[in-house]
Amino acid sequence: MAEKSKLDNPVSINTAAEETLEESQNTQGQAEVESENEDEEEDAPSGSTPAAGAAAKKKKSKRKRIKSALKGGSGGESSSGETKSIGSISNENAMELLKANPALAQQLGVENKSEKEILATMKKLSLADIMTGLAMSGKNAKDMGAYKFWGTQPVKKFGDQETIEEGPFKIIDPDKVPKEPGPLIDGFEWVTMDMTSDEETKEVYELLNGHYVEDNEAMFRFNYSEAFLRWALLAPGWTKEWHVGVRATASQKLVAFISAVPVELRVRQRVLHASEVNFLCIHKKLRAKRLTPVLIKEVTRRCYLKGTWQAIYTAGVVLPTPISTCRYYHRSIDWEKLHEVGFSPLPPGSKPSYQIAKYKLPDRTSTKGLRAMEAKDLDAVTDLLKRYLSRFDMAPVYNKDEIEHLMLHKKNQGEQVIWSYVVEDPSTQKITDFFSFYCIESTVMKPSRYPTIRAAYLFYYATETAFSTLSSSGTSAAKAADLRTRLNVLVNDALILAKKAKFDVFNALTLLDNNHFLEEQKFGGGDGQLHFYLYNYNANPIAGGVDERNRIDERGSGIGVVML
C-alpha cells in the first residue's frame, strides 16, 4: 500500500531535540511539570496566513510527540501488546529495529551518539513508537495487526540471523487449506467484491475515501478514483475472489476491504508466482475490533487456494521484518498551492517568491523524439523495461499484456490514470527511453479553497543508456555518470509534462535509479517512508536507497518494484 507523506520540516525535529536537551539540563533530576498549554496551538506571527497558522500548529504537535518520545512518553494510542517499553527486548533486537527504521533514527538524532547512548534513548520508547517511527503515531497509526499476530506468520522475525539461504519459510499443503473462510465477529459477513460492477466499485471507493491512509497530522487523505481502482485491481490474471470485503449484516454496508493481484516477482535469481496485497482498509469505528489479522488470514487463504504461496506488501509501520525501506521524496510543481494547504513548508529565511522561482519549470520539453506511448510501442517497451529491471535485486517480470494494461492509456477508457512516454530515435526509429507516472489525488481535510491535491507518482522507466558502451572512458564511473545525465533530462521532461497535465506535486521513492536525479531535480525529503515485506519467503535485506540517517544513499537501491 502507498503511505501518505509530505515534505518534511527538519526545524520541528531539531527544535524538539534541542528543547528536550535543555529541559533535561535545567531540571537536573527534578520532576518535570508539563505546561498546561502544551496542547494549545502555537500562535502564528501577526498578519500570518491560515497556512502559516496551520504550519505552526503542526510544528508544535510534531515537536511535542518527539519530545515525549525522547523523554520516555508514548507518541500515540496503541494496543496493549505494543505499549510496553522497548526495554523488554534485547539490545541486539532494539538496534535491529532502529536499523529497519531510518526515519526514526533521524528523528531521534542518533547520528553522533554512541550505541550506549542510542540504546538509552530507545529503551524509553514504547514498541508502538518504534514500530510506527513516531511519524505514524496518533490518528494515522494504521491498524496493521497486533505485533503478536505477525509473530505467528511465516515472516522473518526480529533477531533472526541476517544472512540466510533464501527460500520459502514453509511449504503449503493444498489439501490442508480451509475451503471456507474463518468466522467473523457477530453482525458481520464475508463478501467478494465485483470490481467490474460500477455499484460495488463505488462502494470500495467510498470506503477508501473515508477511511484509508492519512498523513500523521490528518491533513490529507488519499482519494483513489474508481478508474484508478479498476486499473490497479483488474490487471491481467486478476482473480475476483482476491477482492475481499466485510459487510455489516444488518445494513449490508461495506466496512472493510483487502485485495491482492497476481505478480511474477523476481527476488534476486528466483521468480516467485506471488500476489501483491494492497488496499487494506477498515472503517474507523471498527478499528478496535481487530479485523486486520482476520482480513490478512482470509486473503492469504484465498491466495493459497489458487496455488499462490508468497506475497509482497508494503506499510509505513515497521513490522517483522522489512526486506527493504525506501523514503518518499516530493517535487513541488505548484508550490504556492502546496504551501497554502500545508503540504510544503516555507524554509527558514526564505520568501514565497523565492520558492516559486526555485520550482519554476520550462514550458517545453528538451528531448528530441519524445512522444506519448502508443500501442505500436508495446513490444519495444516490454523488452526495454524487462532488461532494465533485471539490474535490480527485486523486480516484477511483466509480459506484454501486463505492460499494455499498466502503461497504455486508451482514450475510450475515460478518466486518465497513467501517463506514459517514449523517446524514438529520429534516425533509427527505435525506442531508446521510456517513462511513466500515474495520478492519485489527495483530499485536503481542513477548510481550504483547494479541496484536493493532484499528485503524480513516478512509475516505471527505462533507458538504453544503462546498457551503453559508448561512454567516453568506458569505466563504470563514466557509465554511471552517463546514466545520471540521461535520467535527469528525462525526469525534467516528465516534470514539465506533469505540469502541463495540471499536477501540483511529483512524488517518488528512493528505489530504481531515482537517487541519480532526486536532488538535482529539486525533490525534497518527505516525512513518510515505505517498508517492503515478503510473506512466506525468507530473503536477505535489499538496499532501499537511504542510509542510516534516512538520507539518499549514493550506492543506490536494489528495489525495482513500484507498489501502487
Q: How many CB atoms lie within 10 A of CB 195?
A: 19
- Backbone φ, ψ for residue 533 (5° rounding): -130, 150
In angstroms, how far is CA 306 from the centroid of its own chain?
A: 28
Spatial separation of the C-alpha atoms in residues 116 and 138, rounded to whole Å: 29
Spatial separation of the C-alpha atoms in residues 89 and 157, rounded to whole Å: 13
- Is residue 392 a contact partner of residue 560, using CB atoms and an 8 Å limit? yes
Beta pairing partners, 243 = 259
CA-nearest of 400, 381, 379 to 463 is: 381
Spatial separation of the C-alpha atoms in residues 45 and 59, rounded to whole Å: 14
CA-nearest of 165, 537, 556, 514 to 393 is: 556
Residue that has been written with the C-alpha cell 507498489 in this structure: 563
Copy the grid coordinates of residue 75. 507518541
Copy the grid coordinates of residue 485. 545525465
**Surface-to-core class of residue 493, CB atoms within 10 Å of its CB (0-12 exposed, 13-18 middle, 19+ buried):** buried
- Going by the DSSP 8-state scheme, the letter that residue 435 receives in this structure is E
What amino acid positions are annotated as catalytic residues?
Answer: 564
- Sequence-distant (6+) residues with CB within 8 A of 161 are none
